[in-house]
Amino acid sequence: MQAPSLGGAMAPRGNGDVIRVARGISLTDFAERIGANPAALVTIMFHLGEMVTTTQSVNEETLQLLGAELNYDIQVVSPEDEDRELLETFDLTFGEDEGDEDDLVLRPPVVTVMGHVDHGKTRLLDAIRNTNVMTGEAGGITQHIGAYQVHVEHEGSDRPITFIDTPGHEAFTAMRARGASTTDIVVLVVAADDGVMPQTIEALNHAQAAGVPVVVAVNKIDKEGANPAKVRQQLTEYGLVAEEYGGTTMFVDVSARSGLHIDALLEAVLLTADASLDLRANPNQDAQGIALEAHLDRGRGPVATVLVQRGTLHIGDSIVAGDAFGRVRAMLDEHGNTLTEAPPSRPVMVLGLTSVPGAGDSFLVVDEDRIARQIADRRQTRERNALLASTRRRVSLEDLDKVLAAGEIDQLNLILKGDGSGSVEALEDALSKIDVGEEVSLRVIGRGVGGITKNDVNLAIASDAVIVGFNVRPESQVRDFAQREGVDIRYYTVIYQAIDEIEAALKGMLKPEFEEAQLGTAEVREVFRVPKLGNIAGSIVRSGTIRRNTKARLIRDGVVVADNLTIESLRRFKDDATEVREGFECGIGLGSFNDIKPEDVIETFEQREKPRA
């Protein structure tokens, strides 16, 4: 018995049976699960209005459509469950300590420092690191490996604390979005001369959403106009009541600059950990944890900083981290000392992986290299399939005329992001004046000031919109996300250009011959004043390559601060360089342009001729 609409295709019908499938499976895989002929499923999909081949990865929507037609309850397995099932096939589990209560021992708390920009997060992380240069660790040159550990004498015992060395909540939320929780305690930095600011609240929201206790560091108390009492009072509104006011949150007045009360802050972290958390782990099992950051080093190959969460990591262990695998060849701590083992809560730089894992990937030790390789391979395949299934073509200005002509849409949705509310308003105003004719309409469905965020891209996906960035850019993860999802993001620096292009697109006349290709991005870590040369940005290349004499722009908090710059000088240590690749540090000079600050992003690009469609 089949519905006539199926064009005679034969496929067994379910009785609402639940079929659990992995993301991005093909019709062939699905056919096998329900004992059907793959070709029949293709026919059915065709009659449902979708052209799908038997081997192509299909997205969830398509699977649901097919399921509804054939009366199966299709449940697409979440990536987390998928991974759990994958590990189970090797008799492995991730995330829980082996053994029972008796096997657990106290482990150091892992702390992330968050707060509003310029409130002193970086400085505080430096101050904490410096209070604790252990005597006897001579010769150790501090390296930024993404995390470090300090030791505190607390109630008669030596208590280590681990700090994640990436200030700000982006890293924290990115990790959490990937299901990786590394942080036990958040130190919320609030400058006493500035008080509670938007990012203070954002950071607090993230911490509270994650259920992570907060210790407040009221910073810059050395400054004139510092008002620590006001910070306490402001934060009560957000549910953080200081102990001295009868609450449970510890507030510590500090000065990151003069190193004042850093010891009290560390003490507060330990007290908070002991009072509200049960931080224990089994050190006697195969190690597991999270990759905090990773890059490709020219001399050493892939290097990853991992945080051991349970078990002890040893030299020679076979590990798999995300879709990378390998054997631990060497381990280094933040002083560059080699370690032979790393117990719970210890961050270490690991050498010996065969490729670079992603930040936030879980890692675990397995019995043999073979198993590590198999898990990595399967994860790779899985990711690729999921990616293929999710890549859908969406509306872009380029092919707008075709989509319009085909009658697929009759409205162009736009999301406007700009560097100021004035420019966004002006742009919206000008757009509303475009004469678009009767067949189509133009609608601004979202607007805002600031960089293009993942939220904007999600909105664009949900409503088939094109994003217009006026003097603003997305972060590289957001850009990648948009690209993966096929969301068109357009960048403009002058309003009339935006209007011209959108108007042309609506009229089907948009034929750009050049497009901008991004060459690389570098993050400014430190700014040096060099006589005669001006300010030099001590930077680390985050993506692609930075080449001398290429065009560049400077981005601060997602906003383009200066366009039309040139990489006028480029150095590796003391030598001039023509190009510097991802993962390496370099000094960048932008000619007479001197307004450079740490955390700025320098983006280089070139105009490339675009093949005509």
Binding site for ligand GDP (CB under 6 A): 115, 117-123, 167, 219-220, 222-223, 255-257
The residue among 402, 111, 56, 128 whose CA lies nearest residue 277 is 111
The nearest distance, CB 120 to ligand GDP, in angstroms, is 3
The nearest distance, CB 159 to ligand GDP, in angstroms, is 24
If the CB atoms of residues 117 and 330 are measured against ligand GDP, the closer one turns out to be 117
If the CB atoms of residues 223 and 335 are measured against ligand GDP, the closer one turns out to be 223
The nearest distance, CB 193 to ligand GDP, in angstroms, is 8
If the CB atoms of residues 122 and 282 are measured against ligand GDP, the closer one turns out to be 122
The nearest distance, CB 141 to ligand GDP, in angstroms, is 21
User: How far apart are alpha carbons 364 and 319 in whole angstroms?
Assistant: 6
- Sign for the pseudo-dihedral over CA of 323, 326, 327, 329: negative
| Residue 321 CB neighbour total at 10 angstroms | 27
Nearest residue by C-beta to ligand GDP?
A: 120
Residue 87: phi and psi, rounded to 5, are -65, -35
If the CB atoms of residues 197 and 241 are measured against ligand GDP, the closer one turns out to be 197
User: How far apart are alpha carbons 55 and 298 in whole angstroms?
Assistant: 39
The nearest distance, CB 527 to ligand GDP, in angstroms, is 11
Q: Is there a contact between 496 and 510 (Cβ–Cβ < 8 Å)? A: no
Q: Is there a contact between 313 and 331 (Cβ–Cβ < 8 Å)? A: yes
Q: Is there a contact between 317 and 333 (Cβ–Cβ < 8 Å)? A: no
If the CB atoms of residues 118 and 485 are measured against ligand GDP, the closer one turns out to be 118
Q: Are strands 489-492 and 280-281 parallel, antiparallel or unpaired?
A: unpaired
If the CB atoms of residues 115 and 352 are measured against ligand GDP, the closer one turns out to be 115
The nearest distance, CB 214 to ligand GDP, in angstroms, is 16
If the CB atoms of residues 22 and 185 are measured against ligand GDP, the closer one turns out to be 185
The nearest distance, CB 189 to ligand GDP, in angstroms, is 6
Q: Three-state SS for 156?
A: coil
Return the DSSP state at 249.
Answer: B
The residue among 339, 352, 28, 305 whose CA lies nearest residue 148 is 305
Q: Are strands 214-219 and 251-253 parallel, antiparallel or unpaired?
A: parallel
If the CB atoms of residues 109 and 115 are measured against ligand GDP, the closer one turns out to be 115
DSSP string for residues in 325-368 = EEEEEEEE-TTS-EESEE-TT-EEEEEEESSPPPTT-EEEEES-
If the CB atoms of residues 428 and 523 are measured against ligand GDP, the closer one turns out to be 523
Strand order in the sheet with 110-115: 147-154, 157-164, 110-115, 185-191, 214-219, 251-253
The nearest distance, CB 49 to ligand GDP, in angstroms, is 52
The nearest distance, CB 199 to ligand GDP, in angstroms, is 9
